[in-house]
Amino acid sequence: MHAHLPFLLALVAAIVLLHMLANKLRVAYPILLVLAGLVVAFVPSLPRLHVDPELIFFIFLPPLLFEAAWSISYKELRRWYRIICSFAFLVVFFSAMAVALVADQLIPGFTLALGFLLGGIVAPPDAVSVGALTRFVRIPRSTRAVLEGESLLNDASALIIFRFALIAVGTGRFIWQDAAVDLAWMVACGAGIGLLSGWLFVQLHRRLPTDATSDIALTVIEPYCMYWAAEQVHSSGVLAVVIGGLFMANRRLLFLNSSSRVKGHSVWESFMFILNGLVFLIIGLQLPDIVDGLRAAGIPLSDAITYSLLVTGVLIAARIISAYAAMAATLLFRPQVAPRGRTPRDRWLLPLLLGWTGMRGVVSLAAALSVPLALEDGTAFPHRSLILFITFVVILLTLVMQGLTLPYLIGRSKLFDIVSQEEPEEDVLHRVRQSAHEHALGFLQEKTRAGSHPQAAYLVEHLQKKVAAGTFDPRNSHTRALMIELLEQQRQHLVDINRDPGIDEELIHQEIYLIDLEEERLRLYEK
């Protein structure tokens, strides 16, 4: 461990530098991290990182999924749940099945069970890659919600396929009736544990005398607890973390104060940055061990590359076909929600671009590395090295090829120029702030009429001059207390107007964050 510590610190420094370079080049940073890991892996005399397959899921997945659940727009998730669920479940299953059939027919020694195992590993697109990519391209809110929602839920569906396929490979048989019962148990119990855990943790935060430090510490361990509890009863730990995270995120204003939200945002942002960076570097660093495994298994590297290209092509084609099928089904059965204001060319080009967004990453790597070295009877796991190599090439090709070309295709097609026809974000922001300002005036006027606060009339008179400019005296305890109460009223008003479907929930969260910062500034004078 001591020998690897300088190397690990150097990796963290490399993550920071590569992230800055990616922002300069305007490319998704996971692309540079994977390529950098690939280069570093072949530098002689550097230590190799060996990740324990038993711990890979437990270390990386819970916090990544939990943070994604907190970041996603719950309003957009509910609004587009049909197409999100179709991509997260039906498309993932179709992709896994396509890979299974092709692998069974064209890869020597592969069975249908091994094909489904490989399909479950490489089927789910990666949330981090999609999120990093959409920072540099302007896409409609609805499209972004579908991509984020799909990447949040598809991990659970893919890992369920992976688990059943792993059982089939180990036992040599697959009983559909038992699988159906097990699937129902995994989904229902995983979701139930997520809801119960989320409720318990909310109560824990509300009833214990926590401060910002303890609140943040609890949020770090909560996803691990959800995942562990679900796995102990053989249900879906991934689904438990996702559901529990969504439950808590939707109630964040109830159990976290402004200090916990502001400081927690910074801590989690840094934590996720380092965790994601390490995972994508590890993807590149694994190649020498994977190639050594291929040689030990007697599989020619050229054959492995051919199989990898074949699987990558099948995945891309399956996702594009699925996107067109979803568009056709929408036009046929729900024409009222079909894209408006587009030409026929744009309408049928949209599924192609959605199909091209399937970059693979963290989940695929974690699943591949968690494939056991041996079966229960002690025999070596069949084709484990080839599965790892194919997964690595799929991640590399989809990240680099699709990640680098997607912004160009979006810009070239001008498909999302229709965004400009929506209400400009500046106008929405002005409308939201004006509404919050008017609500604040009404609150203070009510205080004045009721005579419940000696400083209310003063603040009403000088609100625009003093409060908006931040020039009132915060050392006055009465004024400060009233201002903190006013900020809470504005927060609640923002939650109410968030029901408007024309307002981006991310914008509401940003405004609440600014209010939290203002409250923190005021509370500094209490110390």
pLDDT in the model for residue 464: 44
- Which of 179-188, 308-317, 349-358 is most confident? 308-317
pLDDT-derived band at 276 (thresholds 50, 70, 90) equals confident
pLDDT in the model for residue 219: 95
d(CA 436, CA 431): 9
Average pLDDT over residues 161-178: 77
d(CA 121, CA 383): 14
pLDDT in the model for residue 32: 83
d(CA 218, CA 224): 10
pLDDT-derived band at 462 (thresholds 50, 70, 90) equals low
d(CA 396, CA 403): 10
Lowest-pLDDT choice from 85-89, 245-249, 523-527: 523-527
Q: What is the mean pLDDT of the chain?
A: 80
Residues above pLDDT 90, as percent of the chain: 18
380 φ, ψ to 5°?
-65, 145
Instruction: Write out the two tokens for 206.
Output: 């509300």
d(CA 53, CA 255): 36
Burial category of 366 from C-beta neighbours within 10 Å (exposed 0-12, middle 13-18, buried 19 and up): buried
pTM: 0.83
- Tell me, what DSSP letter sits at residue 525? G
pLDDT in the model for residue 235: 87
pLDDT in the model for residue 228: 93
The SS3 of residue 522 is: helix
* Beta-carbon contacts of residue 421 (< 8 Å; ≥ 6 apart): 341
pLDDT-derived band at 162 (thresholds 50, 70, 90) equals confident
Domains, the chain, in order of start with CATH, read: 5-421 (1.20.1530.20), 425-526 (no CATH)
User: Is the confidence at residue 347, as pLDDT, over 70?
Assistant: no
Instruction: Write out the two tokens for 296.
Output: 């030990």
pLDDT in the model for residue 85: 80
User: Is the confidence at residue 363, as pLDDT, over 70?
Assistant: yes
Residue entry with tokens 């965004």: 419
User: Is the confidence at residue 70, as pLDDT, over 70?
Assistant: yes
Cα-Cα-Cα-Cα torsion 479, 481, 483, 489, nearest 10 degrees, comes to -150
Lowest-pLDDT choice from 170-179, 219-228, 281-290, 292-301: 170-179
The SS3 of residue 4 is: coil
User: Is the confidence at residue 76, as pLDDT, over 90?
Assistant: no
